[in-house]
Structure 1
């Protein structure tokens, strides 16, 4: 072996060892973040798992410990107790909790309008607000799609007295609809609808509530005031990594589907999960010139009005107490 060849091999080996050392060092330095979803696995969470698989979080210096949840209330409770560093849940629930005094803030709002729609039976289609008159609609307490029906009726000049709102347990809404006990039920484009259409083989008529002015804040990332003070740098890195993962998912929804299904073997078919993933990507947006997840103060103000339309919230807190965009700034 010539001296030159030996030197090249030595340098190559040294470079490989150096790169390996850097990667090990980065991994060792990565800060753990406990991340709790408000619900069980679904396509909405696909970008987190794609980012994890592709090393986006590792490269950002954080290691998210992703976990399923059992409702927004439980997720927020564990956040305040310090068991979680961030929770991912519908923004409307975070806003309600903050108004009641919970010491947390929204640090990113990915869905300024939750992708909620009303679906109906093909033989009795509801595709415009006026079609709701004379129909029955399933409703459960706290359910996003129908809790603010009064506001929706007023905005679209329809007579809500002619809409029969049938109250029932949240778990009964969809089964009652499928059994044709009610004419209309609310579902998420990013979760329920792809599952239902795959299960039944029916293409349901859709009334998109967001198209007719009902903007209920959807997927948000929430941290405690204490966590923001103590782990602000790590949270900022986490949000930057989320932004990259979201863009990767837009570009390759099939890859996000595969990454999610790797930890969700009991989930629906790849086709259904990919539909959920694609609908989620379509629902994530922010104002022009702002980072993904940027929180518009107007969205908070409008959400408070919605909450105040169905319950007594007292004097509204200052809007700045509900959110911060500081962790999204470059």
Structure 2
């Protein structure tokens, strides 16, 4: 992670330990006052604060679009987009009441509930899990079953890249004893090109694009997806049970306005990048904007998934994930999956 980039470097669930990450977070805190805080608006509007768990970045385009296009204002809301820093507790703002909603992985929300954080996913953002195993184009690895005896790089034993690796191995009946898992921080390119690992877990709408931009030939070995017994739920909007009880109408308005932002971003990625420029330092030249458009294009199939209503949580995926996380020791107690999400705040189909 480098100083404010247009690529979506958000790693769900893990601390960012590199010096570059800390520099980026500190720089973002000084450069992004326009992206962190409410814009002047109708004082009678209901105020809602959303925690965005990374520095300003093109991955948050649907939220920037919803603000810039006036979708939140149309819904009677005044919205603060609060970007987290590297040291922020993922659910700290939610627990302290400083944030009303937070963008987090569904897997992280289930972990939170296992740790007595009563968070509920009210709208999924990525219907398809965004990570894959990235290997060189000439690699003999072609499927999860080829991983036995290999060395795989992950940033660390946390977050979506690590969860995704466990799910990929589970598909082939492998365990952590069958492979060597190497913590490499956020040095995927260097580790792979120097042959320190046989493959790296990365984001298909970020890391794979980075490899390609660098002129490196890589292939993605994807997870089986929504039908897998090791299904995982990616990023979504989480709200506390107490906030849902107090302000269900505002949550419904926020979700519906955000979905308008999602739909606009999917339909008009170039315009979405333009609308995001005032929020993202560095998104100023043609090269960075073209790269941001590639990220949005690669994100579109993740958002749409296999079809159906945008934002809708799939009950069976949540149920399978709860069992998988418990089986792998990622949560220490049984967590009723049905209480961890709700589709009640989505527009009626």
Correspondent of 2:263 among 243, 247, 266: 247
- Bigger proportion of residues as helix: 1
DSSP 3-state at the match of 2:246: helix
Q: In the alignment, which of 277, 299, 302 is matched to residue 317 of structure 2? A: 299
Q: After superposition, where does 1:215-234 map in structure 2 within 5 Å?
A: 215-234=231-250
| Structure 1 SS opposite 2:74 | helix
Could you state the TM-score of these two structures normalised by the residue count of structure 1? 0.81
1:65 is matched with 80
Root mean square deviation of aligned Cα: 2.7
Alignment of 1:54-203 (within 5 A): 54-70=69-85, 74-124=89-139, 126-139=141-154, 140-147=156-163, 149-157=165-173, 161-166=177-182, 168=183, 170-198=185-213, 200-203=214-217
Instruction: Verify the 8 A CA contact 1:117 1:186 in the aligned structure 2.
Output: yes
Between 109-118 and 310-319, the greater mean CA deviation after superposition: 310-319
Contact 2:102 2:238 in 1 (8 A): yes
Separation in structure 2 between the aligned mates of residue 106 and residue 188 of structure 1, nearest angstrom: 22
Q: Does structure 2 conserve the Cα–Cα contact (< 8 Å) formed by 1:43 and 1:280?
A: no
Cα shift at 1:218: 0.8
What is the CA-CA distance between 1:125 and the residue it aligns to?
5.1
SS in 2 for 1:106: strand
CA distance in 2, matches of 1:312, 1:242: 30
How many equivalent residue pairs? 302
Q: Could you tell me whether the CA contact under 8 Å between 2:144 and 2:221 is conserved in 1?
A: yes
CA 172–122 in structure 1, closer or farther in 2 if over 3 Å, else same:
same
CA gap of 1:104–1:162, structure 2 versus 1, over 3 A, is closer
Deviates more, 1:268-277 or 1:53-62: 268-277
Contact (CA 8 Å) 2:148, 2:174: kept in 1 or not? yes
Stretches of structure 2 that go unaligned for 5 or more consecutive residues are 1-40
What SS class does the counterpart of residue 304 from structure 2 fall into? coil
CA distance in 2, matches of 1:172, 1:195: 12
**Following TM superposition, by how much is the alpha carbon of 1:49 offset from its aligned partner in structure 2, in angstroms?**
1.1
Tell me by how many angstroms 1:158 deviates: 5.7
SS at match of 1:171: coil
Deviation at 1:220, TM superposition (A): 0.6
Q: 1:156 to 1:86 in 2, by over 3 A?
A: same
How much does 1:283 deviate? 0.8
Bigger Cα displacement from structure 2, 179-188 vs 216-225: 179-188
Of residues 198, 206, 209 in structure 1, which corresponds to 2:223? 209
Q: Distance in 2 between matches of 1:217 and 1:118?
A: 17
- 8 Å Cα contact 2:232/2:318 also seen in 1: no
Per-residue CA distance 1:177-224 (angstroms, 9 max, x = gap) = 3433112111112233223322x2223111112459353211110011
Paired residues of 1:293 and 1:328 also in contact (CA < 8 A): yes
Q: Which residue of 2 aligns with 1:318?
A: 336
| Native 8 Å contact 1:287 1:294 kept in 2 | no
How far 1:122 sits from its partner (Å)? 2.7
The equivalent of 1:283 in structure 2 is: 302
Aligned partners of 1:59 and 1:272: how far apart in 2? 31
Q: Distance in 2 between matches of 1:72 and 1:276?
A: 26
TM-score (ref. length: structure 2): 0.77
